[in-house]
Structure 1
Amino acid sequence: MIYGLSYTYWFIYGTSFDLPAVLGKLVGLGYEVGHATYREGVLHLDPLPGGYAARRVYEEGIVYLLADVQRGALGVYGDSLNILNRGVADVSRALMELSMPEPPRAELHASFGFPGKDCRSEKVTIAGEEFVKTGIVLISGEPQGGEGIYISITPLGGGRYMTYLIVGGRWQYVVSHMKRIGDLVNSLLAYFNCSSSG
């Protein structure tokens, strides 16, 4: 059983991201937004309470938008994939209406906890002390600078684990993996718990 699931999808532009214009468009889509302005050529954001750039309440949950002014990035945060998809669609619509190009880079971050048993753990002895080597880090491709996937599963004790997953790369690469993120998570848990041939 997965608990504490959350997703953040980042639209990363670098220095050429017009946050005030995007927030202005999102107001028309039903969002409550923070106040973003340029002062002496520098972007300033007065966020909503909680530190969010914007938010919209849907029947099934709330979409929160985060802004990283240094990275020129806008993040969509939600606690379900359906809410995340709604927020990503809203931001994509705003960008399209502003004739802004797709972001040169995107990142999908997912985190969740789960109870389990690391069947891949092993005992190791270092300096005469016995340790249990548990948890895993998996990397496919170049998730930090290029395209790829990074997964970390960390033990919390008592048979509980925390997972952090990042898919990074071009817009289409990240969107295609977002559409099948459930399969990736289920396969990962089956691998970790050895409930499949893996």
Structure 2
Amino acid sequence: MYGLSYFYWFIYGTNLDLPAVLGKLVGLGYEIGRATYRGGLVHLEPLPDGSAAKRVYEDGVVQIFADLNKGALGVYAESYNLVNRGVADLSRALAELSAPEPPRAELHISFGFSGNDCRSEKLVLAGEDFVKTGLVLVSGKPQGGEGIYILITPAGDGRYITYIVIGGGWQYTISRLKRAGDLINSLLALFNCK
């Protein structure tokens, strides 16, 4: 597996008090960008890497991103443990501000891997031979409801790019974050033809 990354979004859909959230993150050891109010709207001057805040841990970096148009805060890290730390830090900052749980949360996981598609199916379309490969899997209603969306796309020479979105209410999404490794391992097993 290569290029594994996690992005966890807290989606409020309304204006967040970003300056207050960033102020709480400073107390948790984060370097922050500058967030101010101008004309009743939040304005953000991000850090040089584009994040609203970041914290360097001994095993990597956690970045916090803000999407002011969607009223969303995102936690990005390149390892499961780091994204969990970032989610815990941001959750603590929001709890200290008495912010409610976000109405929607989404976990985005992307990675590449090498393997073989054991489920190859041949098709003939307009006289041309094709091999069906890759996967699109859906559980529940990931677009607007609660569910999981998985896209595995061939990238040539036995390589695949995988994109997973787990979305729904806060409790639904956070419970699936805890089992993300099981989901990834199950997907990889599909492409391990032994």
Name the residue aligned to 1:167. Answer: 166
Structure-to-structure mapping, 1:7-26, within 5 angstroms: 7-26=6-25
In the TM superposition, what whole-angstrom CA distance separates every residue of 1:162-192 from its partner, at most 9, and x where no partner exists? 1000100001100110111111111122134
- Provide the C-alpha distance between the structure 2 equivalents of 1:45 and 1:123, rounded to a whole number of angstroms: 52
Number of residue-to-residue matches in the alignment: 194
Name the residue aligned to 1:134. Answer: 133
**Are 1:38 and 2:37 matched, yes or no?**
yes
- Amino acid across the alignment from 2:48: P
Q: Which runs of 5+ in 2 are unaligned?
A: none
Task: Return the TM-score normalized by structure 1.
Answer: 0.95
Name the residue aligned to 2:121. Answer: 122
Identity in percent: 72
- Provide the C-alpha distance between the structure 2 equivalents of 1:36 and 1:159, rounded to a whole number of angstroms: 45
Structure-to-structure mapping, 1:65-144, within 5 angstroms: 65-144=64-143
| Runs of 4 or more above 4 Å deviation | none
Bigger Cα displacement from structure 2, 35-44 vs 171-180: 35-44
Task: Return the TM-score normalized by structure 2.
Answer: 0.97
- Provide the C-alpha distance between the structure 2 equivalents of 1:105 and 1:192, rounded to a whole number of angstroms: 32
Name the residue aligned to 1:54. Answer: 53
Q: Which runs of 5+ in 1 are unaligned?
A: none
The two structures, once aligned, show a CA RMSD in angstroms of 1.1
Q: CA deviation at 1:194?
A: 5.3
**Are 1:27 and 2:29 matched, yes or no?**
no
In the TM superposition, what whole-angstrom CA distance separates every residue of 1:97-130 from its partner, at most 9, and x where no partner exists? 1011111110000001110001112221111121
- Provide the C-alpha distance between the structure 1 equivalents of 2:19 and 2:108, rounded to a whole number of angstroms: 24
Name the residue aligned to 1:177. Answer: 176
Decide whether the 8 Å contact of 2:117 with 2:190 is kept in 1: no
- Provide the C-alpha distance between the structure 1 equivalents of 2:42 and 2:121, rounded to a whole number of angstroms: 51
